[in-house]
Amino acid sequence: MDLMEFSRSAILAQLDFINGGSIPPLPSAPIIERLFLANPWPTVLAIVLLAVTLFLVLNARGKIKPALVTSGTLAVLAIVAFFVSTSTVTDRERIKMRTVELIEAVAQVDLVVLHAILHEDLTTHATRVPKNATKADVIELVERIIGQTYSVTNHKVLDLQSTIYGPRVGRTQTRVRVGSEFGEIPSWWQIDWTRQEDGTWLVSRIEALWIPGVPNPGG
């Protein structure tokens, strides 16, 4: 390998480290969910703008009563849309929150939360984790490696995506940066979730998608 090729490889490796590899995003939410639940502000503002416009137009034509009725109805619709959005937690949002719980539990070696959030039939695909590792094995690894060897000093969720594949199956994808005495390392992880009969979402599968310098992070 000549100097130019080595420099190019080094630059590409650095860019890969910064950008986090080329991880395809998860499917986005349906448009109705995005407009009315995930981010209602564009819809609410559009309804308010329409209400104001219709009021001005009808009022200019001398139709004050229809103007008040129409704009008032639209204003109520905007208020209802806003409150429905703020009071409704979608399954996508739930598994996102559960993902943050999982990350916090691992970083803080909170074994109680890990026992509660991991499914009994958990499967893992990550380097340094045996393919046949059980839920108990994973918790023991967290306690031994993070609790005793590589203590986490700081961590941050850099990206978090979610999707729902069915009434009881969901998936999240997250990029996290973890700091220890050895430095800070970002990584991408994919987490599958299964909803239980009581509505609780549990982790059924964990896969490492990208770790700097690791050719096959998923094992």
- What is the per-residue pLDDT across 136-155, written as a single tens digit (0 to 9) for each? 999 999 999 888 888 889 99
Per DSSP, the three-state class of 19 is helix
DSSP code for 2: -
Same domain, 156 and 83: no
CB atoms closer than 10 angstroms to residue 18: 9
**pTM score:** 0.74
Same domain, 101 and 154: yes
**pLDDT score for 32:** 66
Residue 2 lies in a domain: no
Q: What is the pLDDT of residues 8-41, one digit of tens each?
A: 443 344 445 555 567 899 988 777 666 666 666 7
Residue 161: pLDDT band (50, 70, 90) is: very high
Residue 54 lies in a domain: yes
| Domain residue limits at 63 | 32-87
Residue 18 lies in a domain: no
CATH number, domain containing residue 202: 3.10.450.50
Same domain, 171 and 154: yes
Q: What is the pLDDT of residues 70-111, one digit of tens each?
A: 888 888 887 877 776 666 778 999 999 999 999 999 999 999
Same domain, 158 and 134: yes
Which helix (H) or strand (E) element contains residue 64? helix 64-87
